[in-house]
Structure 1
């Protein structure tokens, strides 16, 4: 994308990158809600509730209202889980970006800047338990600047940094509902290593899976 500059994070970017992260994460709420509705156990619950109330009350309105209420509750639970995740991230690594990503030698945080405005972000740091890899984290681009190659440039910055530091690969985690991100990673040469359930009980009950991807790097690999 012409005019987009990838640069390292500065302290003045703090509020903007946290806002970009929060907005980007919140955008997954509708897709997560739809994912829940597609699960057989969810459809069975809604259908059972509707049929039981219809048979016992002889009223069509009551079961409709009950199912609507259940859907509203589920939607609020999805929103609650995402808000909790955002708050957790903003109180941990995104609360001390310079300390977490800029101070250590083998970690870094970048922003994408267009006409003086920060429109995207990405970070990386060593992956716990995997000494030969750096982990790509916090990739997010403003909706207004997607589809223009910004995310690819940010990912390439991580790949180049990882190679320069002598690590063998970049790894990352993404969720089942982040289909656009998955397409980007595959296009850049990442391969999916495994699929596993997200940690909390609600995610397990709704088959909300996480995917692990890995991009193997070679010293003679040229940037795309």
Structure 2
């Protein structure tokens, strides 16, 4: 197992970080496609359209071809959902990582490096909501390259972020993850994150019934201060 170390992001890491992020999101397309196929409205459509065509034309061939074409076309909303998310991030916080994550004390971006190559990443931004009484830090874009998973890199990146949050006197660390990201959910729960609620990131996500789960990690320092 090649060693790795975690360090702060540098501008020279930009292209590798963006590639890692984009590929990580694209990996969820097959699972999203399978999720769409299991939706009740999809099953009705897959059965109803071929049957309607058969009753109208009397041709089983036409009905089967239409069903297969519909089945193949359902990959499009799965791809669109993740492509839309990638594009929105590339035009938001990832447009200028240095400016977004290093312009103040309360934010940061780390990469895991092994043999001179970035193999993991995670970002941290403060949630700026003036009505909130708790100081919250948001965990963003946790990702590890496929070939380096299972080596504790993701866990080490999250630990680095949690330590940063404690050092910066945050009360909570929050994050959002898709309901289909089972390994990520298991990791967060094993590290003390608890699901607080769920929401839809976009209209596309709502249409395919794919919610985002929000998880919250209350920091020990915050719990002590509330008790005192």
TM norm structure 2: 0.91
| Ranges in structure 2 where 5+ consecutive residues have no aligned partner | 224-228
| RMSD value, Cα | 1.7
2:138 to 135, 149, 166: 135
Offset of residue 27 of structure 1: 0.5
Offset of residue 127 of structure 1: 1.6
Q: Report if aligned partners of 2:81, 2:205 keep a CA contact under 8 Å in 1.
A: no
Partner of 1:20: 20
Partner of 1:145: 148
Aligned counterparts, 1:134-173, within 5 A: 134-173=137-176
Offset of residue 148 of structure 1: 1.1
- State yes or no: 1:88 paired with 2:91: no
1:12-34 Cα offsets, whole Å, 9 max, x none, are 10110000000001101111111
Offset of residue 43 of structure 1: 0.6
2:191 to 166, 188, 196: 188
Q: Distance in 2 between matches of 1:187 and 1:52?
A: 49
Q: Distance in 1 between matches of 2:89 and 2:23?
A: 13
Partner of 1:35: 35
User: SS in structure 2 opposite 1:93?
Assistant: coil
TM norm structure 1: 0.93
| Ranges in structure 1 where 5+ consecutive residues have no aligned partner | none
1:174-206 Cα offsets, whole Å, 9 max, x none, are 011111110110111100001223331x32232
- State yes or no: 1:210 paired with 2:218: no
Deviates more, 1:69-78 or 1:151-160: 69-78
Offset of residue 87 of structure 1: 1.8
Cα pair distance change 1:39/1:220, threshold 3 Å: closer
Deviates more, 1:113-122 or 1:124-133: 124-133
Q: Distance in 2 between matches of 1:83 and 1:196?
A: 19
> Structure 1 stretches (4+) deviating beyond 4 angstroms?
none
Q: Distance in 1 between matches of 2:222 and 2:209?
A: 40
Offset of residue 76 of structure 1: 1.7
Equivalenced residue count is: 220
